[in-house]
């Protein structure tokens, strides 16, 4: 049985919540156990520098704000570039702009933002992904009814895609 780890770096909590929902779907629907690691855990050096050698599947979740990834996510990719070459890598970002494009049904813009915010970052590092998604996040300094841009059905559907890929070998 393959081993899976989900590592994440959040700024305001949206990435944490999304990571937990992905794990919930993988566990409940596919029986896949996933180790969860917060790359920003200042109290745990092991979490800030996880050893992914024994994992077959790596899910990376990163907050995207102010035109950049949370630095811990990029540091993780750079440190693990060679190890990731032999693993299935799934990447998601929490981005209010990505989510806003999806909410407004501007799917062309959503795809453009995924390429800009995810694909280009991975290309810079030289890392290939198995699958990637740009989910929504929080708009800061907005009223609560306008701050949340995540589509939970989209998140769950992507988690199911991951589960199918992992279980297919």
Is the confidence at residue 133, as pLDDT, over 80?
Answer: yes
Distance CA 32, CA 1 (A): 9
* pLDDT (0 to 100) of residue 141: 66
146: confidence class by pLDDT, cuts 50, 70, 90: low
Question: What is the pTM for the complete model shown?
Answer: 0.92
* pLDDT (0 to 100) of residue 45: 62
Number of domains present in the structure of the chain: 1
38: confidence class by pLDDT, cuts 50, 70, 90: very high
Distance CA 139, CA 65 (A): 9
Distance CA 78, CA 82 (A): 9
- Nearest-5° angle of CA 71, CA 54, CA 127? 45
Residue range(s) defining the domain that contains residue 66? 4-167
Residues 6 or more apart whose Cβ sits within 8 Å of residue 54? 3
* pLDDT (0 to 100) of residue 44: 64
Residues 6 or more apart whose Cβ sits within 8 Å of residue 142? none
Distance CA 127, CA 147 (A): 32
* pLDDT (0 to 100) of residue 94: 93
Distance CA 76, CA 71 (A): 9
CATH of the domain at 150: 3.40.50.360
* Residues counted in the chain: 169
- What average pLDDT is seen over the chain? 90
Give the model confidence (pLDDT) of 84-108 as tens digits: 999 999 999 999 888 888 988 999 9
């Amino acid at each position: 049985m393959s081993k899976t780890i989900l590592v994440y770096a959040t700024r305001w909590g949206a990435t944490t919540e999304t990571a937990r929902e992905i794990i919930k779907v993988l566990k409940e629907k596919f029986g896949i156990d996933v180790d969860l690691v917060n790359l920003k855990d200042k109290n745990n050096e092991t979490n800030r520098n996880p050893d992914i050698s024994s994992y077959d599947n790596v899910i990376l979740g990163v907050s995207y704000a102010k035109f950049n990834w949370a630095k811990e996510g990029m540091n993780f990719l750079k440190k693990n570039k060679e190890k990731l070459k032999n693993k299935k890598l799934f990447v998601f970002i929490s981005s209010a702009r990505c989510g806003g494009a999806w909410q407004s049904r501007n799917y062309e813009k959503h795809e453009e933002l995924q390429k800009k915010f995810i694909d280009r970052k991975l290309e810079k590092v030289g890392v290939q992904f198995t699958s990637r998604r740009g989910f929504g996040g929080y708009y800061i300094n907005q009223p609560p009814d306008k701050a949340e841009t995540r589509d939970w059905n989209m998140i769950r559907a992507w988690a199911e895609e991951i589960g199918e890929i992992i279980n297919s070998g």
